[in-house]
Structure 1
Amino acid sequence: MSVPENQGMGSRELAALVDFGARRFAAGPGLTPIPQFDSLLVTRHGRIVLEVYYPPYGAGIPHHLYSATKAVIGTLTAIAFKDGLLDRLDHRVLDFFDRRSVDNLDSKKEAITVQNLLDMTSGIEWTQPLDESSFESAIEMAHSPDWVKFVLDRPMSNNPGEAFNYSNGDTHLLSAIITKITGSSAWEYAEAKLFGPLGIVDAFWVHDPQGISEGGDGLFLKPRDMAKIGYLYLRNGEWEGKRMLPSTWIDRVNHATISVSYPPGIHYSDLFWAFADRHVYMAVGRRGQVIMIFPDLDIVAVTTARIDYSLREFADLISSSVKSDTILPVDATGAKLLANNVSDASTEKPTEVGPPSRMASIISGRVYLFAPNELNLKSLSLVLAGPQPHYEIETYATAATKSGNRFSSPIGLDGLYRKGKLSYHGLGVWLEGVPRVEAVKGAWQDNETFLIDRLLLGLGNSPERWTFTFNRNRLNLLIKIGNWPEISIDGQTNG
């Protein structure tokens, strides 16, 4: 790690960037405010100048990239093209699926090329607006038994290349094409051709029912590994003297030409977004998962987060921190300010905790049973009396898991989160099988009501508030997640 001034950057400006990430937000009424960032990392001239982890998130936890996954799918497509597995980018897409029967087949669909998929201009009808007002088509695909068939069978809304239309379907077809031409999943191909050479470890990639890596938003990486992807692009597709990406590919990403109506001033190319007026391009996932590349400044910046933020404001803060291309004089005052801001942002602040309830010893260890419900919660036990407060949960079997699962998490009773171990089990069907670390703290609201604040670290999702209301042998569990409708389920114990 380098002193910012040694890389021509100002510590005072980077201190403001740390504060930007520390801005607190409440995802919904009654929810405890948390920092908008999980992590922030900035490199210049190949050296880390700033690295912050906002608690309770920590460096070793793989983070869901959401749609920043798409940029990795594009990168793998470029590698396959360089290696000759993909002969040309204008190759017709349906040629890779010639053994499939495709519905709504017409001349428009027959004309779709790989490049159209890379630019989100396939013309395939798809409802997934960038303002996130609807995820209709992506949800329908996720619920279908064959995702590739779901996309290929859809009608056409435009001629290929005619209009930009954001689509998880386009990138899932790219993932399927990678599987077709390499004989392995995108994850396996990435391990061999991208993650391995870059030293990326502990990646995780969700897949569809046929084992095809989810092309739209299924990848998990740690922040430093995200920065390695950015650095590969910053170095024009070379890594340790070896060319991994075609130079023509980097040039297209560097000069994105496809206009996007929302947000304004953004262009698109090969699954990367760009501020054309600032020569900045980036991989972007919902809720602030970003790999931002500044070719003119020799900078890569990475964030993992829990809320969408102004990418232009972030880019401006980065740019304003650059003072020179050479070493700057030591700024003792700025260095102290930066160190204080990093220390403050990295230190969890306890929330207020009221007195314990007499109910704690009564309900501690009791097992509450639940009828089948939307969370698949079968049983729950709170252990609040003793040196290691925690909860234990058992879930119902699902079609995906075939059997129920058991998991537990520690609970902080002093106003600070306690973190469990990396787990792949959780409540709700969509959370089963993806990595996360639970961070939990609890406090008594009154003698009969216990509150839990719960974060699933690495998922970048909304905070949760669990309200336990005890009434003799009965328990009402009310769960609020962000601005989603509350979930209320009732359980009971035999003692």
Structure 2
Amino acid sequence: MLLRHGHVVAEGTWSPYNPDHPHILNSLSKSFTSTAIGLAIEEGKLSVDDAVISFFPEDVTEAIANNMAHLKVRHLLSMSTGHSVDTTPLLRRSDHWVKEFLSIPIEHEPGTHFLYNTGATYMLSAILTKVTGLKLLDYLEPRLFEPLGMSDITTTSCPMGIHFGGAGMNVKIEDIAKFGLLYLQKGVWEGKQILPENWVDEATKKQISNGDDANNDWAQGYGYQFWRCRHGAYRGDGAFGQYCVVLPEQDAVVAVTAGVMEMSSILDLVWTYLLPGMSNTFDLEVDLGSKLDSLAYAPPQILNTSPNISKWSGRCFDVQPNDAGVTAFSFDFSDENSDFTFRDGDGEHHIRVGNSEWIESELSLLGHHVKTAASGTWKNRNTFEMTIRLLGTPFVDTWTCDFINDAVRMSVSRNIWTVPGLSDMALLPTIVGYIKI
């Protein structure tokens, strides 16, 4: 979605995705957490110079006091806590993430060393909850979401119920664009100052250096949970291509949800193709409306079928023990579409699989409630391949089912590489099943 001078000038969504579905933000969530801190500061709940340990006296030991003596809120905001590694994986060692964070050694003087540290953002959420008595999204609801008309926003939480803050939010593309427009307008929305102008300035300016490569959008400086960009722009961003890019000089906002490994490729496209179009000399001769309306991911085409379908269709396969907890599954093949059914500890789940079309389903997968769009094809007489688009996420899975006599081996690959423990959704493991006799 592209906004210019306060108006939507172009938007497009590749079918079967839907712009009305909230999408995982990953680390773009951080910019919303920063906004909440700015609002709380304006309300006098805290300041950027408050010591982090001052909010959690019940968790402070002598060792923690010595370790965290110089850590302030501003260091959490600017990713300059002094840690040598991202603390997020370490937090997951305990149910008490705050205390775990406080115990992790600080090796550099806070404020002197940039390190992208999602655990620092979690601590901002924890501090917000401590000083306001409200969880992050509950605090933002009347102050940000309602005034901007943002809805259906959800997030993940730590074991103690504190909203994660550093990732986990799900927001619609239009609401990402609204968020960027609020910042572009210096915190003003429909004539009212929703967010303090001085916070917009402080959050989006360079607070700490993160490199010196003039051609690298990850080396232009870091603000308060916002990245500086080339071309005088700034952004909130999240893994695999979730973007809210604000271009003050062009009076523009670019909002993107995506599923790519190389995040810089998206920004390069913005600078190469959209930025020149914001000049007074650019001549657009493309029927943009028709192009945007026709965006779609083509489903796999049915090129052939298998003579053995009747042998496997409708039969139940008992599954060997696996990390996903799947205990059985079955296929129901037909000319119109196919159905894949699997059973785990949460019950029975169904995925409808289109033949040369996308068919949507809703299911619980590895502890997450997701919408899917699926289509399948026979690669050869013994291999059925399902493409499963996990809507509202960056993930597209290919489930390859190899049938051999009375057994099937189902292996899953994903469009993007994910890190166990850091991704919002795990990858389904390889599963082997045998026809139940």
Q: TM-score, normalised by structure 2?
A: 0.89
Aligned counterpart, 2:13: 53
Aligned counterpart, 2:249: 296
Aligned counterparts of 1:284 and 1:197: Cα–Cα separation in 2: 23
- 1:125·1:154 contact (CA, 8 Å) conserved in 2? no
**Offset, 1:194:** 1.5
Q: Secondary structure at the match of 1:57?
A: coil
Which of the residues 360, 363, 383 maps onto 1:419?
360
Q: Deviations over 1:325-373 (max 9, x none)?
A: xxx99x7x7252x2343244x1333434222213323322222222331
Equivalent positions of 1:422-441 (< 5 A) are 423=363, 425-427=364-366, 432-433=367-368, 435-441=369-375
1:97 partner letter: F
**Offset, 1:483:** 6.7
**Offset, 1:316:** 4.2
- 1:443·1:452 contact (CA, 8 Å) conserved in 2? yes
1:449 partner letter: T
**Offset, 1:226:** 0.6
Q: Secondary structure at the match of 2:167?
A: coil
Aligned counterparts of 1:201 and 1:58: Cα–Cα separation in 2: 15
Aligned counterpart, 1:269: 223
Aligned counterparts of 2:322 and 2:388: Cα–Cα separation in 1: 20
Aligned counterparts of 2:406 and 2:378: Cα–Cα separation in 1: 18
Q: Deviations over 1:260-290 (max 9, x none)?
A: 1385542111100012x52201001111100
Could you say what the CA RMSD is over the residues aligned between the two structures, in angstroms? 2.4
Aligned counterparts of 2:115 and 2:204: Cα–Cα separation in 1: 21
Q: Where does structure 1 lack aligned partners over 5 or more consecutive residues?
A: 1-40, 128-136, 397-403
Aligned counterpart, 1:321: 277
Aligned counterpart, 2:432: 490
Aligned counterparts of 1:493 and 1:56: Cα–Cα separation in 2: 33
1:469 partner letter: D
Aligned counterpart, 1:470: 403
**Offset, 1:220:** 0.6
Aligned counterpart, 2:344: 395
- Runs of 4+, deviation exceeding 3 Å: 101-104, 262-265, 482-487
Aligned counterparts of 2:387 and 2:245: Cα–Cα separation in 1: 32
Aligned counterparts of 1:151 and 1:320: Cα–Cα separation in 2: 45
Which of the residues 153, 166, 185 maps onto 1:203?
153
2:360 partner letter: K
State how many pairs are aligned.
421
- 2:210·2:222 contact (CA, 8 Å) conserved in 1? yes
Q: Indicate the larger mover: 253-262 or 283-292.
A: 253-262
Aligned counterparts of 1:459 and 1:409: Cα–Cα separation in 2: 17
Which of the residues 436, 443, 457 maps onto 2:377?
443
Q: Deviations over 1:46-90 (max 9, x none)?
A: 11101000122211221111111100000011111112222x211
**Offset, 1:43:** 0.6
Is 1:278 the counterpart of 2:219? The answer is: no
Aligned counterpart, 1:232: 182
Aligned counterpart, 2:129: 179
Aligned counterparts of 1:395 and 1:101: Cα–Cα separation in 2: 42
Aligned counterparts of 2:384 and 2:268: Cα–Cα separation in 1: 42
- 1:480·1:487 contact (CA, 8 Å) conserved in 2? no
Aligned counterparts of 1:106 and 1:371: Cα–Cα separation in 2: 50
- 1:108·1:160 contact (CA, 8 Å) conserved in 2? no
Q: TM-score, normalised by structure 1?
A: 0.79
Q: Secondary structure at the match of 2:21?
A: coil
Aligned counterparts of 1:144 and 1:440: Cα–Cα separation in 2: 37
Aligned counterparts of 1:225 and 1:101: Cα–Cα separation in 2: 39
486 and 347 in structure 1: CA distance in 2 versus 1, 3 angstrom threshold: closer
Aligned counterparts of 2:318 and 2:98: Cα–Cα separation in 1: 39
1:295 partner letter: P
- 2:342·2:350 contact (CA, 8 Å) conserved in 1? yes
Aligned counterpart, 1:379: 328
Aligned counterparts of 1:456 and 1:486: Cα–Cα separation in 2: 12
Is 1:334 the counterpart of 2:301? The answer is: no
Q: Deviations over 1:211-234 (max 9, x none)?
A: 111121111101001111111101
236 and 363 in structure 1: CA distance in 2 versus 1, 3 angstrom threshold: same
486 and 182 in structure 1: CA distance in 2 versus 1, 3 angstrom threshold: closer
Aligned counterparts of 1:300 and 1:105: Cα–Cα separation in 2: 42
- 1:358·1:447 contact (CA, 8 Å) conserved in 2? yes
- 1:102·1:153 contact (CA, 8 Å) conserved in 2? no
**Offset, 1:491:** 1.2
Aligned counterparts of 2:389 and 2:181: Cα–Cα separation in 1: 30
Which of the residues 88, 98, 109 maps onto 2:68?
109
Which of the residues 171, 196, 202 maps onto 1:252?
202
Which of the residues 48, 56, 61 maps onto 1:97?
56
Q: Indicate the larger mover: 365-374 or 295-304.
A: 365-374
Aligned counterparts of 1:222 and 1:469: Cα–Cα separation in 2: 37
Equivalent positions of 1:206-225 (< 5 A) are 206-225=156-175
Q: Where does structure 2 lack aligned partners over 5 or more consecutive residues?
A: 418-426
Aligned counterpart, 2:352: 410
**Offset, 1:104:** 4.1
483 and 320 in structure 1: CA distance in 2 versus 1, 3 angstrom threshold: closer
